[in-house]
Amino acid sequence: MSAPAAKPVPLVLAIDTAAGLSLALARGSDVLRRRATAAPQTADVALLPTIQAWVRGAGVPDRIAVGTGPGSFTGTRVGIVAAKTLAWAWSVPVVGISSLEADAAAAGDPGAVVVATAELLRDELYGGVYRCWGAGAAAGVEVLVPAEPRRLSWVPAGWPAGARLVVTGPLAAVPAFMAALPGAEAHPDVFRACGLARLAPTAAPIDPMALEPQYLRPATRAGERGPGHGHLE
């Protein structure tokens, strides 16, 4: 009797625009295409033309994974709207994943604990703590400390003793914060879309219309950003 045919590994398109553009096309652990830009203002310009070029070469993806934030009001909406539109146009499932969980998945090996942070205005940031488990199509992230607004004086805790500890995002570049976590590894820049692609196979698809972004601040606060705002010292 012949062995059953192996189940095809799905092609995943991963989109995040919460803090600039992070875009990847992956099949399992194999990242076929990737693109990133740091400027949120240009994410919408590069997003769809890049996806169109990738699809012409690799075909329509089997699943879309989109980062839901926390992120800027305009930037985060760009990715959410694109994911909704493409899911409907291609009739493929879509999953929404926290951008900070995606950072944790991109930075951590199985068993690692990741403190993932995103920048806010003035003296605040968004931060959460996650533990990574599994690998490949079985990869996942467990929330140890839910992501929420924090003061810069925040010192996270609440993970197993001896675990490998990784810090991502802006706090990874703050010496005082890193000094409060002896032995922690600093990874200020991770490829978020690769984390999305890693988590996508085990995430439950949702109705595209149910996708909702999570904002760092309401849109009405955007005008408060000025020189020095939104930057950690």
User: What is the pLDDT at residue 40?
Assistant: 64
Across 120-146, average pLDDT: 86
* Number of other residues whose CB lies within 10 A of the CB of residue 186: 16
Assess if residue 114 is contained within a domain.
Answer: yes
Provide the domain count of the chain. Answer: 2
Whether residues 180 and 108 share a domain: the answer is yes
Report which DSSP code applies to 204.
P
User: What is the pLDDT at residue 83?
Assistant: 97
State the Cα–Cα distance between residues 36 and 191, nearest whole angstrom.
8
Which SS3 state, helix, strand or coil, does residue 79 take?
Answer: helix
Token duo for residue 144 = 């140890």
**Is the distance from CB of 181 to CB of 171 less than 8 angstroms?**
no
Whether residues 95 and 16 share a domain: the answer is yes
User: What is the pLDDT at residue 64?
Assistant: 98
**pLDDT tens-place string over residues 24-56:** 999 988 999 999 987 766 777 889 999 999 999
> Is the pLDDT reported for residue 228 higher than 80?
no
Whether residues 144 and 177 share a domain: the answer is yes
Token duo for residue 189 = 């820049």
Whether residues 19 and 58 share a domain: the answer is yes
**pLDDT tens-place string over residues 61-95:** 999 999 999 998 888 999 999 999 999 999 999 99
Whether residues 181 and 122 share a domain: the answer is yes
User: What is the pLDDT at residue 152?
Assistant: 83
Assess if residue 91 is contained within a domain.
Answer: yes
> Is the pLDDT reported for residue 233 higher than 60?
no
- What DSSP element (H or E) covers 143? strand 140-151
- Phi, psi (degrees; rounded to nearest 5) at 158: 105, 45
Whether residues 48 and 106 share a domain: the answer is no
Whether residues 67 and 173 share a domain: the answer is no
**Pick the residue with more confidence: 226 or 124?**
124
Whether residues 46 and 126 share a domain: the answer is no
- What DSSP element (H or E) covers 50? helix 43-58
At 68, which CATH number? 3.30.420.40
Q: N- to C-terminal Cα distance for the chain? A: 66
Assess if residue 40 is contained within a domain.
Answer: yes
Assess if residue 3 is contained within a domain.
Answer: no
Assess if residue 203 is contained within a domain.
Answer: yes
> Is the pLDDT reported for residue 230 higher than 60?
no
Domain limits for position 48: 11-99+191-224
- Strands 124-133, 185-187: pairing is unpaired
User: What is the pLDDT at residue 119?
Assistant: 82
Token duo for residue 15 = 């989109």
Whether residues 81 and 112 share a domain: the answer is no
Across 115-144, average pLDDT: 87
The closest alpha carbon to 198, from 22, 27, 8, 17, belongs to 27
Assess if residue 44 is contained within a domain.
Answer: yes
Helix segments in 108-230, DSSP class H? 175-179, 192-199
**pLDDT tens-place string over residues 167-221:** 999 999 999 999 999 999 999 999 999 999 999 998 999 999 899 999 887 543 4
Whether residues 216 and 105 share a domain: the answer is no
* Number of other residues whose CB lies within 10 A of the CB of residue 209: 9
Assess if residue 5 is contained within a domain.
Answer: no
Look up tokens 């820049």; give the residue.
189
> Is the pLDDT reported for residue 232 higher than 50?
no
- Whether this model's pTM surpasses 0.85: yes
Whether residues 171 and 181 share a domain: the answer is yes
Whether residues 170 and 57 share a domain: the answer is no
Q: Tell me the Ramachandran region of residue 65: left when phi exceeds 0, alpha when psi lies from -120 to 50, beta otherwise.
A: beta
Assess if residue 230 is contained within a domain.
Answer: no
